[in-house]
Chain A
Amino acid sequence: MTPCTGKEGLAFFGCDPWWLILGKGVVIFAFLLLSVLMCVWAERRVIGRMQLRPGPNRAGPFGLLQPLADGIKGALKEDIVPRKVDKFIFFLAPVLAATPALISFAIIPLGPVVSIAGHKTPLQLTDLPVAVLLVLAMSSVGVYGVVLAGWASRSPYALLGGLRSSAQVISYEIAMGLSFVAVFLYAGSLSTSQIVSAQAGGGTASFFGLFTFDTPSWNAIVLFPSFVIYVFTMMGESNRIPFDLPEGEGELVAGYHTEYSSLKFLMFYLAEYINMVTLSALATTLFLGGWRAPAPISTVWPGANSGWWPLLWFLGKLVLFIFFFIWLRGSLPRVRYDQLMKLGWKVLMPVSLGWILLVATLRALRNNGADTSAYLVVAGAVVLALLAGSFVWDAIKGPPPSAADEPEPERPAEPEPAGAFPVPPLDAPHYHGSHHGKEVPSGLH
């Protein structure tokens, strides 16, 4: 008889013996540190292969010890504290960046209920009624680390990097929160374990009562727009390429950690990679069915979703997501800061809000027992009618006036040749392309 016997749902968490909870915490901590080492190694090797070079391969077999060498070297380096920095905040900032990153992973479900030394316990450190909000809160606290690092360094580069990072992360966090809303509406809960169980099987939908079909279970398919928005905001949250402006070497030396060396810098480095792992794990949990086996496996093998096997599916999805991160880093350039802000505020947020409205309407209709397929058909018909109307309108109105139809603007008189020296024409046509229509009089641009 254990304290957990007979408990259900969220009450099942936290009733384990103390050594089991402590053990889970230590294992998750070790897993995160190990995953950082593996991420650094994988990133450098994969980007190396993408650029047709071997990548680190001298330190240990396949260069596996490369991140370890980086870590030891970094820890043994001189710890410089510049004279003018705000010492207390300068020390506090890396701690504030790294600690919340480690906390978020506590609510990620790694597997179903398993038996450890006779105790039935879920493979998850803890769960809360507001578990996903904890991740958002922790990433917000992590921003303090970055901003304070920039502020305490008393260096313009660090300050600008810190401010950029805070503006970026705050903007993208709104869109990220909005992308979660649809998931919450579908799962009916903010707790991660219940979101995973909500993705266990798809519902059924009927087509005008003619026939019924199974809807897919993963939120990544059902709520595809939310998933796409989450992937965008994930890049923005983790300060990585293509949104790694806070540390753009071309402009800001090294951004907010310009003045940091040795272990303090390593803590920022650690926080960045742990955030990457946490965001990938969250994407897996919210959108890719968590630890549940992907469709063909669970169809042919009923035991795939019990025991310790789900850990494998979870890690597989996690690794695929991290590979996606690295892939993007190997392929994309850095965007400009105004483009970043434009994407966040003018595209991701309005699209998110519209999508939530749509999802909420559909859910409300379905909860009231309405036949949603009829509404869907009507909505589709309206959209089609609007499209057809705009097509007809364009056909009636004729093509838009082109530049060639406009009257030739009057050109200013050729300037007088200055003195005896031959002066080239000040507004030669080739400045504006050889096409006659493109030619513009000087002074207009």
Chain B
Amino acid sequence: MGLEEKLPSGFLLSTVEQVAGWARRSSVWPATFGLACCAIEMMATGDPRHDFSRWGMERASGSPRQADLMIVAGRVSQKMGPVLRQIYDQMAEPKWVIAMGVCASSGGMFNNYAIVQGVDHIVPVDIYLPGCPPRPEMLLDAILKLHDKIQNTKMGAHRRKEIEELERAKLRALPLLGQSDVPRIEPPRVTQS
């Protein structure tokens, strides 16, 4: 998070992006952080049958300062919210979040006042992983998709350009409802004959 962000756009930056992406993807240290039943499945992902150490992930980091990935494994109660946010803030950039299970993704079955309805109310989420709880294979799939995202993350000038493009695309996108100037397509009338 220093010099590599200030490189000029072009061949050098894309090479650095590739190397950094490979290193970051190959060494994602998860923060030691489990909340509920999903945490049991997360631990099972490290067992001999599934073994996320194949991607260098068995080195769980006790301190958030050295962690790269926060797997929010379980429902987040309102009381846990600030704690979770603090741990996220203590992690060093670049950092990623997987919302594991429906509870972390959207509140799941806990549709009540005590549970945060999706951890994306508190921290930015990279991968939403459904399931109640998701099996270790599903978590591995989420981790592999995150690897793809990490590998293709842009840096420096490229990243700024990407953000700009995404912003423009968002502005251009049409709202889904209430488009007054778009001719309304009537659904075909069903007639009884």
Contact = CB atoms under 8 A, between A and B. Distances in A.
A69 B23 contact: yes
B26 A65 contact: yes
Interface residues of A, number: 37
Interface string B71-91: 000000000000000000010
Interface stretch (A50-58, A190-198, A273-281): A50-58
A59 B65 contact: no
A52 B96 CA distance: 29
A56 B56 CA distance: 5
Interface in A292-324: none
Contacts of B183: none
11 contacts: A58-B56, A59-B22, A66-B26, A69-B27, A78-B92, A79-B2, A79-B92, A254-B62, A260-B63, A261-B65, A265-B66
A315 B78 CA distance: 56
A72 B19 CA distance: 9
B20 A56 contact: no
A154 to B, nearest CB: 14
Chain A binding surface SS class: loop
Nearest to B147: A58
A53 B20 contact: no
A76 B92 contact: no
Contact of A254 (B19, B20, B54, B63): B63
A335 B48 CA distance: 26
A257 interface: yes
Instruction: Enumerate the 7 nearest inter-chain pairs by beta-carbon distance, A residue then B residue, closest first.
Output: A254-B63, A72-B23, A69-B26, A249-B62, A78-B93, A53-B48, A59-B26
B23 A257 contact: no
A247 B23 CA distance: 25
Contacts of B27: 59, 66, 69-70, 72-74
Given A59-B26, A70-B27, A78-B93, A54 B68 contact: no
Contacts of B62: 247, 249, 253-254, 258
A51 B52 CA distance: 13
B151 interface: no
A212 to B, nearest CB: 56
B171 to A, nearest CB: 30
A250 to B, nearest CB: 9
A333 interface: no
B26 A265 contact: no
A395 B2 CA distance: 78
Interface residues of B, number: 30
A44 interface: yes
Contacts of B23: 68-73, 76
Given A52-B48, A72-B20, A260-B65, A77 B54 contact: no
Contacts of A3: none
B56 A69 contact: yes
A259 interface: yes
Given A44-B58, A79-B1, A73 B24 contact: yes
A76 B56 contact: no
A359 B63 CA distance: 47
B66 A254 contact: yes
Contacts of B120: none
Contacts of A52: 48
Nearest to B57: A56
A48 interface: yes
A53 B56 CA distance: 12
Nearest to A45: B53
Contacts of A262: 1, 92
A157 to B, nearest CB: 8
A247 B66 CA distance: 14
A54 B51 contact: yes
Contact of A51 (B1, B48, B68): B48
Interface string A391-433: 0000000000000000000000000000000000000000000
Given A69-B26, A76-B1, A44 B53 contact: yes
A80 interface: yes
Contacts of A72: 19-20, 23, 27
Interface in A164-201: none
B47 interface: yes
Contact of B54 (A51, A54, A69): A54
Given A73-B68, A74-B27, A260-B63, 13 more contacts: A44-B59, A48-B51, A52-B48, A59-B26, A59-B56, A69-B27, A70-B56, A73-B23, A78-B1, A80-B92, A254-B62, A254-B63, A258-B63
B14 interface: no
Contacts of B20: 72-73, 76
Interface in A38-54: 44, 48, 51-54
B164 interface: no
Contacts of A70: 23, 27, 56, 59
